[in-house]
Amino acid sequence: MVKSQNFKTENRLPPIILKYENQLERDPNSLVFAALAEAYRKSGNYEGAFQVLRDGIKNHPLYKFAYFTLAHCYFDVNQYQLAYTTLRPFVANERENFRVQNLFAETCLKLGQTEEALESLKYCLFLAPKNYEVAQKIKEIEQSISPTVETLDEITKKQDIPNIQVSDQFELKNLNPTGSKDIDIDEWKQVDFSRTTNQEPKIQEEQLAKDWQVGQTPELTIIEEKVEARPPTGEAPIITHTLVDLYCAQGLYQKGIEILQKILELNPKDHKSRARLQELRQVVAIHASVPKQKHGVHLRLESFLDALKERARQIEKRQENPTST
């Protein structure tokens, strides 16, 4: 792992970065790798971010927040095609995620793919109707492309989209879609999902959800305690299936499997839970096989890192032998 002291003196580092580094050092399989990579990105340590993501995605190839941060890193270093390729598979299922849609739109604009950019920008405006910057971009794109393209007003009228009430988090002044480095990383609060024998404060994986998702994810450890303490009722399967979905959305499939097994212990005839359990076991099996045969995103990331290292070697060589050039 490329530690942060390689690009800043340790006493000037945000404490949260040191905390994430120590957490990942203690547990290399922790999901905190994605939060550390995001903190590196915001601090300008792109080499560290890419290497942490490479190792983390190898262990957690289904963890979507890692891919969001990876795409943002690519965007920041002007690798727009790599950012597009990384983010594109998630766009259709992340329509309520402002940051994903906005980053994808910005990436498409850099590549000249205006129609895809326009589609994502319209979703952004549905989520944040008061965002003047997004509205202006939509207007400019619609004026620049074919006049037959439906305007935002026409689509809104046709689909009878209600007026969305927006909280302050969607105000333009509170958004940071361009990934500028003026965000105070110390404001993050995070819990580690790995169980610890001591009572150290846990680092919340919800950290990335706060950046990449609309709304807050309920604190999973608290919910789990409530589920275990709740006597079996007719509503219990619905509530616990919701918890399973929460865990799965964050890549914690084994936690979901454990909950489903408890449900089946109480109600062996619950066919829905049995089918869901079988589905998750298949996902875990696929998950285990992916690191052995590297998928496209991981191969592209390794190739990009190799290119960065080669360029660094060439620069170092020229500095050592200035007369040879």
In a domain, 165, yes or no: yes
Helix, strand and coil percent figures for the chain, each rounded to 5: 70, 0, 30
Backbone CA torsion sign across 144, 87, 25, 1: negative
Residue 256 has pLDDT above 60, yes or no: yes
Residue 120 resides in a domain: yes
Which secondary structure element, helix H or strand E, spans residue 297, and what is its range?
A: helix 296-320
Own/partner contacts of 244-248, CB < 8 Å, gap of 24 or more, are 244/276, 244/280, 246/217, 246/218, 246/220, 247/220, 248/280, 248/283
**CB neighbour class for 217 (10 Å; exposed up to 12, middle 13-18, buried from 19):** middle
pLDDT bucket at 4, cuts 50 / 70 / 90: low
In a domain, 280, yes or no: no
User: Which range, of 123-132, 173-182, 232-241, 242-251, averages the lowest pLDDT?
Assistant: 173-182
Kindly report the backbone phi and psi dihedral angles of residue 219, in degrees, each rounded to the nearest multiple of 5, phi listed first: -70, 115
Over residues 116-126, the mean pLDDT reads 95
Q: Is the pLDDT of residue 258 over 70?
A: yes
Backbone φ, ψ for residue 175 (5° rounding): -95, 150
Total domains present in the chain: 1
User: Tokens in use for 89?
Assistant: 């598979």
Please indicate, yes or no, if residue 169 is contained in any of the structural domains: yes
What confidence tier does 192 reach under pLDDT thresholds 50, 70, 90?
very low
Of residues 242 and 211, which shows the higher confidence score?
A: 242
Say if CB 218 and CB 246 are below 8 A apart.
yes
C-alpha 28/C-alpha 72 separation (Å) is 23
Residue 208 within a domain: no
310, part of any domain: no
HSE-up of residue 84 (Cα within 13 Å, Cβ side): 16
Mean pLDDT, residues 53-63 taken together: 90
Higher pLDDT, 14 or 104: 104
Q: Does residue 201 surpass a pLDDT of 50? A: no
The length of the chain in residues reads 325
Average pLDDT taken over every residue of the chain: 72
Could you read off the pLDDT of 136-173 as tens digits, one per residue? 999 999 988 765 555 556 655 655 545 444 344 334 34
Question: Is 125 inside any structural domain?
Answer: yes
Q: Is the pLDDT of residue 123 over 70?
A: yes
Predicted pLDDT at 12: 73
CA distance to 228, 257, 264, 266, per residue, from 270 (Å): 18, 14, 6, 9
| Mean pLDDT calculated for residue range 93-98 | 91
Longest CA pairwise span in the chain (Å): 80
Identify the domain containing residue 177 by its residue range.
4-186
- For residue range 204-231, what is the model confidence (pLDDT) as tens digits? 455 566 666 544 333 333 233 333 444 4
| Chain-centre distance for alpha carbon 227 | 27
Higher pLDDT, 47 or 176: 47
Six token digits for residue 33: 């790798």
Instruction: Provide the pLDDT confidence category of residue 116 given band limits of 50, 70 and 90.
Output: very high
Where does the pLDDT of residue 9 fall: very low under 50, low under 70, confident under 90, or very high at 90 and above? very low
Q: pLDDT class for 93, splitting at 50, 70, 90?
A: confident
Percent share of the chain, pLDDT over 70: 59
CATH number at residue 87: 1.25.40.10
CB of 73 closer than 8 Å to CB of 50: yes
In the structure encoding, which two tokens stand for residue 300, read together? 């592209």
| 228 assigned to some structural domain | no
